[in-house]
Structure 1
Amino acid sequence: MTENAAKRLKTDNGVVTIGTHNGHFHADEALAIYMLRTHVPAYAGAALVRTRDPKLLDECHTVVDVGGVYDAAINRFDHHQRSFGTSFPGRPTKLSSAGLVYLHFGRGIVARRLAQPEDSEQAGVVWRKIYESFVEALDAHDNGISVYDPAGIADAGLEKRFSDGGFTLGAMVGRLNPNWNDPIPADPVAAQADEDKRFETASQRIGEEFDRGLDYYTRAWLPAREVVAEGFAARPEYDSEGRILVLKRQSAPWKDHMYTLEDEQPEAGKVLYVLYPEKPTPDAKWRVQCVPVTKDSFESRKPLPEAWRGFRDEELDGISGVAGSVFVHAAGFIGGNKTFEGALAMAKKALAI
């Protein structure tokens, strides 16, 4: 999809002009334009026009988040029209301009970073992961979709325990808009230039976060699949029911991959403890980490024993009966030992309690 879209890009003078709306800007068009200008070769050096004037937008090669048209064949990527209902494959959230641009160009962005063909399995895996972990939140924010159903929360009588400051990706960009009482240049041209400068800052800011995610998922998260799969397959070596997963080489991002492997192989059972060295050296200390009920949960499937929690070193040795103990967190979700053998002994004892 991305490759075909890129092949259609043609201009008379070689300069592509992207149009988007002026006025109050949002995270979705800020990211959409960053992705095009930074990561799609055909848009390198593209000019940006911020306007709501239909005549000026008609002159633009590509229009994002304004104009009332979604048609990738003519490079129009708006989502505000009443008839719009497109979502990312397999996801329910209606797309914003960020999601639309990522839908058509994101796989190519990922493939170039991986130096692989767009239709490769790895490019597809990372393309989907970045959507679900980053872009989808912007789509939901711009379309007024809450993380949880407000009616369900009200029916359950749930209330927030504290303010999180509203610091979302959308809020991060929103705060770069001028305040209501900031002075505005009297000259309309100067006022628009000031607004455009703020938008460029916002686009760069959200783009930097996107790039961090792109780097992480291509360089760290994806290679971790092999490490976790190796440990997942070797579980019977440590526990007949497969409840202990050992990452032999070093700690790696394991949660996403472990949950995926469990879903793919339900007959293999659930992992309760993950063991890994603190660093990739022979003398490294080892950690015993409890698997959360869900990826983002603070509740463990099986916390380390209550009697161990909050104790350290020799005192913990005596309580747990395992030599070389280093600590067990007061919340019981993680502990440590000086050796792999000690960490494994802690995990096995915890299973039996």
Structure 2
Amino acid sequence: MLRSLALRMAENAAKRLKTDNGSPLAIGTHNGHFHADEALAVYMLRQHVPTYSGAQLVRTRDPARLEACHTVVDVGGEYDPSRNRYDHHQRSFGTSFPGRPTKLSSAGLVYLHFGREIIARRLGLAADEDNESVGLVWRKVYESFIEALDAHDNGVSVYDPTLLAAAGLQKRFSDGGFTLGAMVGRLNPNWNDPVPEDPAAAQAAEDARFELASTRIGEEFDRELDYYVRAWLPAREVVAEAFAARSDYDGEGRIMVLKGQSAPWKDHLYNLEEQQPDSGKKVLYVLYPEKPTPDAKWRIQCVPVAKDSFESRKPLPEAWRGFRDEDLDGISGVSGSVFVHASGFIGGNKTFEGVLAMAQKALAL
């Protein structure tokens, strides 16, 4: 498979983009062991920025060969956008994404400079159009995807290891180490894999592995980008409308109802609450139909204290938890009950009127 990929790469050389002097436009990065950050940096440029469509990839540490490249990422010891140089390993480097603390890797640098263009094109806008939606998605994709690669490549842990040790916290089990960085890393050859004796063949085999890794991490990036453009961003209007109408169901605005169809609401709810800190008490329960049909059952979900937290701002009453159907009807005093989860973070009712009654009763308990 790797050999066939290398052959296809060679066969496509004639189709690659040409520069003004007729030579292939080249993106340079280092050879040897590859990482997720340069794999994604190369993918973003070649697949999402028209200038680099079909660009040649040059993997080397030879300064003369790198100097001849149009663009260089993750090698060369230079960060200079005016010269298309995007390395982060030099001692003087300290650039981070606006509003975020993590030092950038080559993925973060390419995203910093080209991310807005990538997102604008995905939204069907002019490449240089910078409206609110472009900025929202640009920041969100960085925080949800790119920053993890920056942190991984710069050796930044999710939690402060000193504080973890001081608290005596240890993992209960192995999580398999399956991170975005590890996903790319495992595509490197094993230490005892056979290596072609011919240096050119050996480099071609290594480059083919890098191409696979770049495509793999790029596919995940595309899925992330498509989610935020096609699902997350349209949900903002839905949630904003529900947030504005929450006082219709509770005088203090603690119940929010998503009518018609459920949509991703957590990010947008927290953002709306931050933007309007004096708009009343925080939302405690979100109500939504299981599917967009008139006969759909309804869910009540507790708002977590933070997006990734398992702790709810106000869980459903302890006496309701773990019960279903008629048993739950009798305990809650609300007919049509379907269930309440054992942890109290979510429940259900056969009708909107029933799930609203559950929410109102839960507020009073």
TM-score (norm 2): 0.93
Check conservation: 1:116, 1:123, Cα contact below 8 A: no
Amino acid at match of 1:342: G
Which of the numbers 332, 339, 342 marks the counterpart of 1:320? 332
**Alpha-carbon separation, structure 2, partners of 1:260 and 1:310:** 32
Within a 5 Å distance, the mapping from 1:202-217 to structure 2 comes to: 202-217=213-228
Amino acid at match of 1:186: E
For each residue in 1:292-314, what CA deviation from the matched residue of structure 2 results, as whole angstroms up to 9, or x when unmatched? 11100011111111111111111
**Alpha-carbon separation, structure 1, partners of 2:190 and 2:19:** 39
Alignment partner of 2:322: what SS? coil
Matched, 1:286 2:286: no
Which of the numbers 65, 68, 72 marks the counterpart of 2:74? 65
Which of the numbers 302, 306, 311 marks the counterpart of 1:299? 311
**Alpha-carbon separation, structure 2, partners of 1:214 and 1:337:** 34
Task: Give the deviation of 1:10 after TM superposition.
Answer: 5.5
1:146 to 1:48, Cα distance in 2 relative to 1, 3 A: same
Q: Which residue of 2 aligns with 1:333?
A: 345
**Alpha-carbon separation, structure 1, partners of 2:273 and 2:54:** 45
Amino acid at match of 1:165: G
Matched, 1:87 2:96: yes
Structure 1 residues 305-314 or 255-264, which shifts more?
Answer: 305-314
Matched, 1:342 2:351: no
Check conservation: 1:278, 1:287, Cα contact below 8 A: yes
Q: Which residue of 1 aligns with 2:64?
A: 55
Within a 5 Å distance, the mapping from 1:249-260 to structure 2 comes to: 249-260=260-271
**Alpha-carbon separation, structure 2, partners of 1:251 and 1:13:** 53
**Alpha-carbon separation, structure 2, partners of 1:12 and 1:133:** 40
Check conservation: 1:34, 1:207, Cα contact below 8 A: yes
Task: Give the deviation of 1:14 after TM superposition.
Answer: 6.6
**Alpha-carbon separation, structure 1, partners of 2:326 and 2:63:** 74
Q: Which residue of 1 aligns with 2:118?
A: 109
For each residue in 1:276-302, what CA deviation from the matched residue of structure 2 results, as whole angstroms up to 9, or x when unmatched? 011111111110001111100011111
**Alpha-carbon separation, structure 2, partners of 1:249 and 1:35:** 37
**Alpha-carbon separation, structure 2, partners of 1:207 and 1:145:** 22
**Alpha-carbon separation, structure 2, partners of 1:107 and 1:83:** 26
Alignment partner of 1:267: what SS? coil
Alignment partner of 1:245: what SS? strand
Q: Which runs of 5+ in 1 are unaligned?
A: 1-8
TM-score (norm 1): 0.96
Q: Which residue of 1 aligns with 2:242?
A: 231
**Alpha-carbon separation, structure 2, partners of 1:103 and 1:72:** 11
Which of the numbers 20, 45, 54 marks the counterpart of 2:29? 20
Alignment partner of 1:266: what SS? coil
Runs of 4+ that moved beyond 6 A = none
Q: Which residue of 1 aligns with 2:151?
A: 140
**Alpha-carbon separation, structure 2, partners of 1:275 and 1:145:** 38
Matched, 1:273 2:310: no
Alignment partner of 1:22: what SS? coil
Task: Give the deviation of 1:163 after TM superposition.
Answer: 1.5
Task: Give the deviation of 1:249 after TM superposition.
Answer: 2.2
1:291 to 1:42, Cα distance in 2 relative to 1, 3 A: same
Task: Give the deviation of 1:12 after TM superposition.
Answer: 2.0
Q: Which runs of 5+ in 2 are unaligned?
A: 1-17
Q: Which residue of 2 aligns with 1:159?
A: 170
Amino acid at match of 1:339: T
Amino acid at match of 2:54: G
Amino acid at match of 1:249: G
Check conservation: 1:25, 1:177, Cα contact below 8 A: yes
**Alpha-carbon separation, structure 1, partners of 2:96 and 2:46:** 23
Q: Which residue of 1 aligns with 2:192?
A: 181
For each residue in 1:121-152, what CA deviation from the matched residue of structure 2 results, as whole angstroms up to 9, or x when unmatched? 11111011101110011001000011111111
**Alpha-carbon separation, structure 2, partners of 1:107 and 1:174:** 28
Amino acid at match of 1:187: D
Check conservation: 1:126, 1:222, Cα contact below 8 A: yes
Matched, 1:119 2:130: yes
**Alpha-carbon separation, structure 1, partners of 2:319 and 2:125:** 51
Q: Which residue of 2 aligns with 1:219?
A: 230
1:10 to 1:189, Cα distance in 2 relative to 1, 3 A: closer
Q: Which residue of 2 aligns with 1:196?
A: 207
For each residue in 1:95-123, what CA deviation from the matched residue of structure 2 results, as whole angstroms up to 9, or x when unmatched? 00000000000000000011224311111
Amino acid at match of 1:344: L
For each residue in 1:298-349, what CA deviation from the matched residue of structure 2 results, as whole angstroms up to 9, or x when unmatched? 1111111111111111111111111111111111110011111111001111
Alignment partner of 1:19: what SS? strand
**Alpha-carbon separation, structure 1, partners of 2:293 and 2:360:** 24
- Between the aligned residues of both structures, percent identity stands at 80
**Alpha-carbon separation, structure 2, partners of 1:345 and 1:168:** 43
For each residue in 1:131-180, what CA deviation from the matched residue of structure 2 results, as whole angstroms up to 9, or x when unmatched? 11100110010000111111111122222222111111001100111111
Which of the numbers 92, 95, 100 marks the counterpart of 2:109? 100
Aligned length: 345
